[in-house]
Structure 1
Amino acid sequence: MLGILVGAGLVLLQVLLALPWMYVTLLTHTDRQQLRANPFQPWLLQRLYATLAGSLLLPFVAFTFLTDKDTLENAGRVYAAILQVQITLDLFVFGFVLMLWIWPKGGAVALAAFREGTRQPTFWLLFFLALLLMAAWVVVPYFTFGEDYLVVKQLGYDTIMLAAVLFGTLAASLSISEEIEGRTAITVMSKPISRRQFMLGKFAGITLAGLFMFGLLGVYFEGVLMVKHWWDKLEAPKESDVVQAALGVVPTPPWVNDLLTKWDLPGGPTDLLRGVFQWAAHAADTLPALVLCFSQVMVLVALAVALATRVPMVVNLVVILVVFLLANLTPTLLAVARKTSEEQAGSTVGRLLTFVAQVFDTLLPDLGAFTLDPALLTDAPPPFALFMKYVGSVTLYGAIYTGIVLLFGLVLFEDKDLA
């Protein structure tokens, strides 16, 4: 009986988390008006009773027919993945509610840009293309002598980042450049909405659409990493914690086992909750790198938004591509310039190469700081406090660079003749 109650609580938690995003996406305007007038609508009460009955029936069936420990742990991981998706959706719902309350005009522009971006075929084309690529990375042989997992992990991060960057650049060009050229922006800014609110709102909406893609792809990516372990048949429980971390396997935190022992639940709910906590630990392990990748996306999208106020889509795409390539090549260019200056002291080629490398290093963003290659390829995980400090400092750097680029874009946009 206790196990059924625990399972019912878990089902009800999923139902409660589903209410906000279902209210926004599934209910019609008429349904919402009826709920505001009378929250106890007959159709709503019928669904509520069915949900309560299902929350008791589903755990009973699950714990009756699913008795294997591994099966229950896998079910817990699936439950946690669905929970993570729902939390992601709810954060966007409440985030926009808060934005519209704090920043009404700019928030309205951001919400419109977000809706426009997520409804574009380009968004879903890139989304499903990223899904297919990450699934393909699992079965591709890499011949890395036991480090295939690290390669798949890095490829997954890069796939998510590139999909979001490409979407953000295209969305900025379509949403801003075409509205300016089609003179739709004149109508919008006569509401009255200032140019600052228009541009920052567009940036916020496009960036949040990219973050939405990040959130969904991140959950899928975490599942891909677990499938990769199954594909490679790694016996993670037999390895030490250090070896597990080197392979990318996140062991169950000791406090989880202590907590489950303290609760003294039946075997079925205990195994299910262990799978839930294992997924949570796995998600926490991948989160820092996703934060760094999104910081890089934020910088490049800000540049695309700033350029979209002046240049057409093709030029915008080319500039973003050039900046991306040069910013990643700048560290190598600096090393070559330093070596050339040492070997050919005082030469014209060395001085010119050093000057060009320093200009690129000063003006372009340090995109190399947004990657976790060194941390992924070490034999032991980095110290947690030092690692979080690095992630925080790089994220702050990305936010500051984004602010500078947006300020530059505002200067360009203020002088733009919309008529």
Structure 2
Amino acid sequence: MLVLVGLFAINRVSRVGYIARGTAKEAVRQPVFFLLLGISALILVVYTFLPFFSFGDDVKMLKDCGLVTMLFSGLLLAVWTASIAISQEIEGKTAMTLLSKPVNRRHFIVGKYLGIMQAVVLLMAPLVVLFCLLIYYKVGYDARESAKQVPDLFQPGTFLPNEERLSAVLQILPGILLSFMEVAVLAAVSVAISTRVPTVVNIVTCLAIFVVGHLTPVLVGPGGIQQEFVAFMARLIATVMPSLDSFDTKAAVATGVMVPPVYLLYAAIYCVCYCTAAVFLAFLLFEDRDLA
């Protein structure tokens, strides 16, 4: 929560905040923002009433599918906004106007990245609220469809949430946080790439990184590649590429357990370190970029 407050509080206190605020406003005004918000909300509602034929595990299927939906919507917005806010501004020479003011290139990169993450928060916040409400409702809906005892909406005699329904909602919150971390990592990578390549190349490259980032455990795991040179290259790729599989909560959702706080802490540290490295890479790539 403190991180989210700080993410928006910076808008009022620095030149970086000025750029971040403008980037977030530009992203929210884009039609793709409302398109992603509307489609994602509709998909979440459809998933709530869609029979998964999972023999009583429809709530778990809703959690899994809902997390994937919010993850992809956040990723699409982040990559698209990075392309619009950086790549197209450089190609359209508008970045020159901004950098002619008392704003250096490092301010430009950091401000753009923070603005992109603000836009992602503004997209995911209503989806998270809707998703939690749908899960809360789905617990009772699934029980009724399975001819089981339907848990009350609230505790008897109070307006406190029902414990069974609430536990299902609380179990998904770490997954939402990890999904946001994954978006933050790929957004930082997209910002670095956008300093050098056009929109289409950025989107394709980020898609490839997303796929490879989820395959890194397979590449370096036991029983994987046997050839020494190929195994070395696989380990090299796994080291350089972000380990996006670390943010995956499918196993926790499938087994119905909470993600441990220690795991969230390690994931947050990894997220911060990789985002910092990607932003520094963006500094290097953008430092000698000809904007004229």
Do both share a fold (TM > 0.5)? yes
* Contact 1:291–1:395 (8 Å) recurs in 2: no
The residue type paired with residue 189 of structure 2 is: L
- Shift, 1:360, TM fit: 1.8
Deviation readout 1:194-226 (Å, 9 max, x if unpaired): 111111001000111101211111001111212
Shift in CA distance, 329/191, structure 1 to aligned 2, threshold 3 Å: same
Task: Give the Cα–Cα distance (whole angstroms) in 2 for the partners of residues 294 and 223 of structure 1.
Answer: 19
Is the aligned partner of 1:215 residue 2:125? yes
The residue type paired with residue 249 of structure 2 is: L
- Shift, 1:101, TM fit: 4.2
Task: Give the Cα–Cα distance (whole angstroms) in 2 for the partners of residues 229 and 284 of structure 1.
Answer: 13
- Shift, 1:287, TM fit: 2.1
* Contact 1:338–1:354 (8 Å) recurs in 2: no
- Shift, 1:167, TM fit: 0.6
Task: Give the Cα–Cα distance (whole angstroms) in 2 for the partners of residues 282 and 149 of structure 1.
Answer: 8
* Contact 1:117–1:206 (8 Å) recurs in 2: yes
Shift in CA distance, 372/217, structure 1 to aligned 2, threshold 3 Å: same
The residue type paired with residue 273 of structure 2 is: I
- Shift, 1:329, TM fit: 1.8
* Contact 2:56–2:142 (8 Å) recurs in 1: no
- Shift, 1:292, TM fit: 0.5
Residue correspondence of structure 1 range 275-314 to structure 2 within 5 A: 275=161, 284-314=170-200
Secondary structure (helix, strand or coil) at the match of 2:102 reads: coil
Task: Give the Cα–Cα distance (whole angstroms) in 2 for the partners of residues 192 and 221 of structure 1.
Answer: 43
Tell me which residue corresponds to 2:158: 271
Q: How many residues align?
A: 289
* Contact 2:11–2:20 (8 Å) recurs in 1: no
Residue correspondence of structure 1 range 195-274 to structure 2 within 5 A: 195-233=105-143, 271-272=158-159, 274=160
The residue type paired with residue 289 of structure 1 is: G
Task: Give the Cα–Cα distance (whole angstroms) in 1 for the partners of residues 265 and 44 of structure 2.
Answer: 27
Give 1:357's match in structure 2, choosing from 214, 218, 234. Answer: 234
Task: Give the Cα–Cα distance (whole angstroms) in 2 for the partners of residues 157 and 173 of structure 1.
Answer: 24
- Shift, 1:142, TM fit: 2.3
Give 2:264's match in structure 1, choosing from 391, 409, 414. Answer: 391
Task: Give the Cα–Cα distance (whole angstroms) in 2 for the partners of residues 354 and 145 of structure 1.
Answer: 41
Shift in CA distance, 142/238, structure 1 to aligned 2, threshold 3 Å: closer
Tell me which residue corresponds to 2:10: 99
* Contact 2:216–2:245 (8 Å) recurs in 1: no
TM-score by length of 2: 0.89
Task: Give the Cα–Cα distance (whole angstroms) in 2 for the partners of residues 109 and 278 of structure 1.
Answer: 45
- Shift, 1:237, TM fit: 10
Residue correspondence of structure 1 range 106-185 to structure 2 within 5 A: 106-185=16-95
* Contact 2:41–2:127 (8 Å) recurs in 1: yes
* Contact 2:136–2:169 (8 Å) recurs in 1: no
Task: Give the Cα–Cα distance (whole angstroms) in 2 for the partners of residues 351 and 307 of structure 1.
Answer: 31
Shift in CA distance, 95/334, structure 1 to aligned 2, threshold 3 Å: closer
Shift in CA distance, 340/324, structure 1 to aligned 2, threshold 3 Å: closer
Is the aligned partner of 1:331 residue 2:204? no
* Contact 1:327–1:360 (8 Å) recurs in 2: no
Task: Give the Cα–Cα distance (whole angstroms) in 2 for the partners of residues 339 and 275 of structure 1.
Answer: 47
Task: Give the Cα–Cα distance (whole angstroms) in 2 for the partners of residues 155 and 233 of structure 1.
Answer: 19
- Shift, 1:356, TM fit: 2.7
- Shift, 1:355, TM fit: 2.0
- Unaligned residue ranges in structure 2 (runs of 5+): none
- Shift, 1:181, TM fit: 0.9
* Contact 2:28–2:119 (8 Å) recurs in 1: yes
Task: Give the Cα–Cα distance (whole angstroms) in 2 for the partners of residues 199 and 410 of structure 1.
Answer: 7
Residue correspondence of structure 1 range 310-325 to structure 2 within 5 A: 310-325=196-211
Percent of residue pairs bearing the same amino acid type: 32
Deviation readout 1:245-289 (Å, 9 max, x if unpaired): xxxx9x98xxxx8xxxxxxxxx9xx523x1399987665433211
**CA RMSD of superposed structures (Å):** 2.9
Tell me which residue corresponds to 1:406: 279
Shift in CA distance, 278/197, structure 1 to aligned 2, threshold 3 Å: farther
Secondary structure (helix, strand or coil) at the match of 2:172 reads: helix
Task: Give the Cα–Cα distance (whole angstroms) in 1 for the partners of residues 167 and 173 of structure 2.
Answer: 10
The residue type paired with residue 99 of structure 1 is: I
Pick the structure with greater CA Rg: 1
